[in-house]
Chain A
Amino acid sequence: MSAAAGYGSTAEYMAALSGWLAVDERIQGYRGYRPASLEESASRLKGLQAVLADEGWSRLGWPERCGGLGGDPRFRGAMFDTLWEHDIPVPEPFNTLEILAPVMLVHAPHLAQRYFYSLLRGDEAWAQAFSEPDAGSDLASLRTRMEPDGDGFRLTGQKVWSSFAHLAQRSVLLARSGGPGHRGLTMVLIDLDQPGIDVRPIRSEDGENHFSEIFLDGAHVPGDRVIGELGQGWAIAMYMLQWERGAYGWLQQGRFHSRLEHALRLGGDNPGSAAMLGHAYAMATALRLHTKATVDRLAEEEVLGPEVSIDKLLLVDAELATWDAIRHHLGPAFDLDERFGWLRTEYFFSRAAPIYGGSQEIQRTLVAQRVLGMPREK
């Protein structure tokens, strides 16, 4: 943990990290890594996570009380940007970490202290289980039941669209501990590796297992695994959106820039794709600069409101434009050539951008009603 101590600015940190990435032997195998499957990638990139944590790079920007090295939270975003610039993939668990950890630090500091470091180092992985078969965008109608059971709770129900849950050991989960509507929900951290739980991957349209279903049949949650208070689940989920929609966008724009660059190096001067590439770059730049402002606001500990839906809308525009441009720039080979399998997987996932994490329609409604102040439907 010596390499990454005491940087005065993100620029200084990025320069040092760049230098280290260029020479450290343990890193070289991850540069330009093209996974054969999501499972292979998840398993392989644990090694990268461990090195980044052991050397302290990924600990900077997280508070010391949970195993971080302290410092400005922007160090985290600077690390993602630097990794993508070096064509080194940011391991998926960092997405989860960026969304869940800030919430845990506020609402469940004891859990953050206990588990954060294993999560950061890749010793374990977590999932997020909110959606249910009958509750996608409409989270308030969740039905998974949560009942007192000894010193904890018993959970019964079904979750779906939980990213990488089949590769996770634990999951943050929303369940109904009280009456109907928003106020009856509670957020917990549950162990997935137990008899009352069955996790079944769902094969996605690209042939990969992005999501899982989680069946809960009397699964146990210890009493100290409640995040926040009983009945606070909705409020905490809303609080979480700042990071889910804001900080997540910053992490993803790094991917878009990196993948555009990769496609440019593979393809030639294709007059047919110039307009699409230019458009994609413009959208990715708008996303980058807007989410940079959001990350700055989060770093200043501002509490963000419904305007974070704008981050998600810009993410959707940039993600779709980027992958449309890449596909057209590479031409028929993109869809026919065996070596582009990993690229196609990312392409297919981009089609989910307007769906996941609150659909484009939900975000537009939120922006219209809560940001522009347009009248609500009666």
Chain B
Amino acid sequence: MDTDTEQLLRRSLTKVLVDEADRELSARLATLGWAEVLDDDAPTAFRALFEVKGQTAAPGDALGPAMARAAALILQRPELAGAGVVLPSSLRPDELSSRVDKGRVAVAGVTGSPPGRAPVLVPVASGDDVAVTIIPAGVEWSVTELSGTDASIGLWRVAAEIDQADVELVTGVPARESWAAAVATGRWALGAELLGVGRHVVATAVEYAAQRHQYGRPIGSFQAVQHRLAGAHASLVGAGRVVEVAANSGSPWVATVAKAVAGRAAEMGCTQAQQTFGAIGFTWEHEFHRYLRRTYALDWLLGDWRSLEVEIGQRLQATRSVPRVGML
């Protein structure tokens, strides 16, 4: 996708994400010809979607369909591309909370859209291995909306008990590979969303610092303020490079690094922006807290940045080697 087309897409996405927010996101995206856009250049299109979603703190389940599409490609099941995904209860991809055992599938987890109408992909523990169940529409679910730190993000705790005969069960290599691909896509996509949040709060703090005067000058002319925001900006730029390469390469390793650097940069951006906004940023009326809440909520999905740094470090220790990402 060339730069002009991408800019155009981002403008359209901003409108689609903000307007008619109570309509299902996939329906709104369909008005853009989203399926064709994805066929043309999925990494760029998804990065644009998630970054704009972060910048606008918009609701809507973009994560489930993005993860499902990655799994569907591996499974060669294009009809599953718009499916929902149920994440493990802890939100960590390797701590499976759903299981298949003795002919029963017990699903428990968290999802971005209440299931029922579309098929849902669920990673389940099958012995010591991961399997993927494809649960058709029409199953009875217990559904509780999660209204924690970020009540607007749209997450539901769901559970279901289903006869194994009523679902499709993918096992072995295809299950492992499709879940790994879904997690990789989910991680860089969330990284992109976190970047969007971070960029937005830093950009709005830069604007505010130019308007707000103290001691007869804009507070943005003080180095103490400048240095906070410049440091945050540099970290976001660096994280953006990793997210871009993760999206284009599809590598699970790079996706893990991408979510770690983006999560860290977004949180740091919030910290610096909040200090710049001062007391006004601490009010309910100011939009800042919505972005801070979104950062916290996004961070937990598929592994928070602190845990991911530990995970990366443990992997480095285990392999005694340091992969070089990206070649000249």
A interface residues with partner B (beta carbon < 8 Å)? 10-11, 14, 74, 77-78, 81, 85, 250, 257-258, 260-261, 264-265, 267-270, 273-279, 281-283, 285-290, 292-293, 295-296, 309-310, 313-314, 317, 325, 361, 363-369, 371-378
**7 nearest interchain CB pairs?**
A278-B313, A368-B226, A286-B238, A274-B313, A278-B312, A278-B309, A277-B313
* B residues 231-257 touching A (CB-CB < 8 Å): 231, 233-235, 237-239, 241-242, 244-245, 254, 257
Closest to B235 in A: A317
Supposing A275-B310, A278-B260 touch, asked if A364 and B227 sit within 8 A by C-beta, the answer is: yes
Cβ-defined contact, A374 with B226, below 8 A: yes
Least Cβ–Cβ distance between B138 and chain A, in angstroms = 43
Instruction: Name the distance in Å between A359's Cβ and chain B's nearest Cβ.
Output: 11
For this complex, 24 residue pairs linking A to B, each with C-beta atoms less than 8 Å apart, are A10-B327, A78-B327, A274-B310, A274-B317, A275-B306, A277-B312, A278-B260, A278-B312, A278-B313, A278-B314, A278-B316, A282-B257, A282-B264, A285-B261, A286-B235, A289-B238, A314-B234, A314-B238, A364-B230, A368-B227, A368-B230, A371-B233, A374-B210, A374-B229
Q: Would you give the 0/1 interface string for B311-328, flagging 1 where the beta carbon is closer than 8 Å to chain A? A: 111101110111011111
Partner of B313, one of A275, A364, A378: A275
Chain A residues whose C-beta falls within 8 Å of the C-beta of B226 in the assembled complex: 364-365, 368-369, 374
CB <8 Å contact, A295 and B328:
yes
Instruction: State how many angstroms separate the Cβ of B316 from the closest Cβ of chain A.
Output: 5
Give Cα A281–Cα B227 distance, bound, in whole angstroms. 24
CB of B13 closer than 8 Å to a CB of A: no
Give the total of B residues in contact with A, Cβ under 8 Å: 49
Docked CA distance A361–B230 (Å): 10
Residues of A within 8 A of B320 (CB): 261, 264-265
- State A278–B315 Cα separation when bound (angstroms): 9
* Residues in B lying within 8 Å of A, measured CB to CB: 206, 209-210, 217-218, 220-223, 225-227, 229-231, 233-235, 237-239, 241-242, 244-245, 254, 257, 260-261, 264, 306, 308-314, 316-318, 320-322, 324-328
A282→B265 CA distance, assembly (Å): 11
Q: Which residues of A contact B325 (CB under 8 A)?
A: 285, 288-289
Tell me if A378 and B221 are in contact (CB < 8 A).
yes
Contacts of A295 in B (CB 8 A): 328
Complex Cα–Cα for A273 and B313 (A): 8
Contacts of A289 in B (CB 8 A): 238, 241-242, 244-245, 325-326
> How close is B249's CB to chain A, nearest CB, in angstroms?
11
- With both beta carbons as reference points, the residue of chain B lying nearest to A266 in the complex is identified as B320
B328 contacts A10, CB within 8 Å? yes
B313 and A276 form a contact (CB under 8 A): yes
B234 to chain A, nearest CB (A): 4
Q: How far is it, in angstroms, between the C-alpha of A294 and the C-alpha of B261 when the chains are bound?
A: 19
Find out whether the CB atom of A287 lies under 8 angstroms from the CB atom of B322. Answer: no
Interface of chain A: mostly helix, strand, loop or mixed: helix
Q: Is the CB of B238 within 8 A of A287?
A: yes
Residues of B within 8 A of A365 (CB): 223, 226-227, 230
In the complex, residue of chain A having the shortest beta-carbon distance to the beta carbon of B321: A261
Among B206, B235, B260, the residue within 8 A (CB) of A374 is B206
CA distance A313 to B209 in the complex (A): 22
| Chain A CB within 10 Å, residue with most, of B206, B222, B306, B317 | B317
In the bound complex, residues from chain B placing their C-beta under 8 Å from that of A313 are 230-231, 234
Write the nearest CB–CB distance from A331 to chain B, whole angstroms: 13
* Cβ distance B152 to chain A, nearest Cβ, rounded Å: 28
Q: How far is the CA of A260 from the CA of B320 in the complex (A)?
A: 9
Chain B residues within 8 Å of A81, by CB: 324, 327-328
Nearest chain B residue, comparing its CB with the CB of A257? B322
Taking CB atoms, residues of chain A closer than 8 Å to B237 are 290, 310, 314
**Distance, CA A275 to CA B311, complexed state (A):** 8
Given contacts A14-B327, A269-B314, A286-B238, 18 further A-B contacts (CB under 8 A): A257-B324, A261-B322, A267-B317, A285-B254, A286-B261, A289-B242, A290-B241, A296-B328, A310-B238, A317-B238, A325-B313, A364-B231, A366-B230, A368-B229, A374-B225, A375-B209, A377-B217, A377-B223
Nearest Cβ in chain A — how far from B3, in angstroms?
14
- Asked whether A372 lies within 8 Å of B221 as measured between CB atoms, the reply is no
Inter-subunit contact B220/A264 (CB<8 Å): no
Q: How far is the CB of A9 from chain B (nearest CB, A)?
A: 10
A286 touching B227 by the CB < 8 A rule? no
> In the complex, what residues of B have CB within 8 A of residue A270's CB?
317
A275 CB contact (under 8 Å) in B254, B257, B309: B309
